[in-house]
């Protein structure tokens, strides 16, 4: 097991200032989204209770995936309010306070889409993810090669995409209580290459809460 001290970033100013203005844009392309939705269909049950951690104005959940409740978390209330899949949301800076204001064993799935690279204490955050997941619930952590470089942590920027897959697995192992940890990779010319332009590379780690 690897121990991680808090990571450093080029921009250590208050994150709330950086995310103050809403960004109602897509940070990933349709090729990535289709691959992510395939993972959601595979791992998330119908009528699940979900936490979309570090979310924005879109959760990328497939329309045919019915949910009982989706709670959103993020850094910008305007973005979260514009997300049609969220039933409720809250704003919190996980780098300042990683403790989620949510009860134990309450979610079937926790999603983290293209945001793990910004966590300065990812292990502590994933301990909270484990706490709020129901036994057997799934964490789905996906990322591509895009980022806000000044806010991404150094250990992320220093690694290749494949090494980042290992880093996310180490985060989950460091948090403890996860099993069935799996990686999912699609290169830029993967799914739907015949129908879509060159897509963002897709990387994902899934894991289930033990028990």
pLDDT digits (tens, 9 = 90+) for 100-124: 999 999 999 999 999 999 999 999 9
- Asked if residues 175 and 127 have their Cβ atoms less than 8 Å apart, the reply is yes
Bridge partners for 72 per DSSP: 52, 89
Q: What is the mean pLDDT of the chain?
A: 90
**How confident is residue 193, by pLDDT bands cut at 50, 70 and 90?**
very low
Residue range 4-58, pLDDT digits in tens: 888 898 889 888 887 777 665 676 788 889 999 999 999 999 999 999 999 999 9
Terminal-residue alpha carbon distance, the chain = 20
CATH superfamily of 15-209: Vaccinia Virus protein VP39 (3.40.50.150)
> What is the greatest pairwise CA distance in the chain?
45
pLDDT at 59 over 70: yes
pLDDT given at position 190: 44
Structural domain spans, the chain: 15-209
E strand or H helix at 208: strand 202-209
The whole-angstrom separation of Cα 109 and Cα 209 is 10
Mean pLDDT, range 54-70, rounded to an integer: 96
Nearest to 59 by CA among 131, 134, 135, 142: 142
Tell whether the model's pLDDT for residue 150 goes beyond 50: yes
* Token output for 87: 């039933």
pTM over 0.85: yes
Dist CA 55 CA 19 (whole Å): 12
Q: For residues 62 and 31, what is the distance between their CA atoms, to the nearest angstrom?
A: 14
Contact between residue 100 and residue 128 where contact means Cβ atoms under 8 Å apart:
yes
Check pLDDT > 80 for residue 207.
yes
Per-residue pLDDT averaged across 131-146, rounded? 95
Indicate whether 152 pLDDT > 90. Answer: yes
Q: Give the separation between CA 107 and CA 135, rounded to whole angstroms.
A: 9
Alpha helices in the chain (DSSP H): 15-18, 30-43, 77-81, 122-132, 154-157, 161-175
84 neighbors 66 (Cβ within 8 angstroms): no
């Amino acid at each position: 097991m690897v121990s991680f001290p808090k990571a450093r970033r080029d921009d250590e100013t208050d994150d709330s200032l950086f995310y103050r203005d809403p960004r109602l844009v897509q940070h990933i392309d349709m090729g990535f989204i289709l691959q992510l939705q395939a993972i959601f269909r595979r791992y998330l049950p119908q009528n699940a209770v979900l936490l979309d951690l570090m979310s924005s104005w879109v959760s990328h959940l497939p329309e045919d995936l019915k949910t009982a409740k989706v709670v959103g978390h993020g850094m910008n209330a305007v973005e979260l309010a514009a997300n049609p899949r969220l039933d409720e949301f809250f704003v919190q800076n996980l780098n300042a306070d990683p403790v989620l204001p949510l009860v134990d064993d309450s979610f079937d799935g926790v999603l983290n889409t293209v945001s793990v690279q910004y966590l300065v204490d990812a292990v502590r955050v994933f301990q909270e993810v484990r706490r709020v997941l129901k036994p057997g619930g799934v964490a789905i952590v996906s990322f591509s090669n895009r980022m806000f470089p000044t806010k991404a942590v150094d250990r992320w920027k220093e690694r290749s995409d494949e090494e980042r897959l290992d880093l996310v697995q180490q985060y989950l192992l460091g948090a403890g209580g996860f099993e069935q940890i799996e990686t999912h990779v699609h290169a830029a010319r993967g799914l739907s290459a015949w129908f879509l332009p060159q897509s963002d590379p897709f990387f994902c780690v899934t894991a289930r809460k033990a028990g």
